[in-house]
Structure 1
Amino acid sequence: MFRLETEVDKARRDLLRTRLREANTAASPVLRALRGTPDERDVPLHVWAVNDADGNLAGGLVGHTWATWLHVTYLWVDERHRGRGLGAGLLARAEHIAVTERACRMSRLETWDFQAPRFYRKQGYEVVCVVPDYPPGITEYTLVKRLTPGRHPR
């Protein structure tokens, strides 16, 4: 007999994540072959653009690297600085770090139709998944890019 509970429980969430990762690693030869524990392989990667004049955040990229992949979670540029290449520069810098310091070969991200799918295509990303009506009335895209050593600015 089991009791089902629905409250938010961070300790149980962390335990569940650990147990799922352990099961996945045990079941997958690819994951077993990767060096380090799962938490060591999932390394945050952040790139910030800070305005020299006032110290304010002009843009930023938050992501992580794992299993030779860069995963871009957030990329944002303040509206006043858009259209000047800052977003492309943030992305290129993250890709450079992923390739040269973390041996990544691929990058992935998700974006909605009203955000930046065209921007990412211009940066060399290809759409591999389209999820219509997620959330209702909006289309979500998953895009990937093969990362090539030597093609990323410092």
Structure 2
Amino acid sequence: MLRALRGTHAERQAPLHIWALDATDDLAGGLVGHTWTTWLHVTYLWVGERHRGTGLGSHLLAEAERIARAERGCTAARLETWDFQAPGFYQRRGYEVVCTIPDYPPGITEFTLTKRLRTN
């Protein structure tokens, strides 16, 4: 089950937090972000170890994009991730790398990715 904390339409910047609970109401994963003007910014996306590989991460991201687009009028999304995390996960979901910062922190590369959100 997904539960979302939503800001109002009138807000220029509003939090967008989505929590996924398993059948026993334990936290299975979540997404923390916000919308600002016409952009969704995903700050954190995580899935508990027991729930990885189930499609939950894709579902959380798709729901955030849906809310951002349909309820808040967003036309694009952005996020940051490191090379040891999941840049490929986001690229498979239509995100494109627009910035690469090597050695941030030392020995690690940070990526900024964006995606245009469909309006239909």
1:80 Cα deviation after fit: 1.1
Residues 102-141 of structure 1: pairs in structure 2 closer than 5 A: 102-141=72-111
Q: Distance in 1 between matches of 2:50 and 2:92?
A: 21
SS of residue in 1 equivalent to 2:32: strand
SS of residue in 2 equivalent to 1:101: helix
Residue 43 of structure 1 pairs with residue 14 of structure 2: yes
- When the two structures are superposed, what TM-score results if normalisation uses the length of structure 2? 0.90
Extract unaligned runs of 5+ from structure 2: 1-9
Larger radius of gyration: 1
Deviation track 1:91-135 (CA, whole Å, cap 9, x = no partner) reads 000000000000000000000000000000001000000000000
Q: Distance in 2 between matches of 1:46 and 1:71?
A: 11
2:39 to 47, 57, 69: 69
Kindly indicate whether structure 1 or structure 2 has the higher relative contact order, using CA contacts under 8 Å at least 6 residues apart: 2
State, as a whole percentage, how many aligned pairs show the same letter: 69
CA RMSD of aligned residues (A): 1.3
- When the two structures are superposed, what TM-score results if normalisation uses the length of structure 1? 0.70
How many residue pairs match? The answer is 112
SS of residue in 1 equivalent to 2:107: coil
Instruction: Identify the structure with the greater strand proportion.
Output: 2
SS of residue in 2 equivalent to 1:83: coil
Q: Which residue is equivalent to 1:96?
A: 66
Residue 149 of structure 1 pairs with residue 115 of structure 2: no
1:83 Cα deviation after fit: 1.1
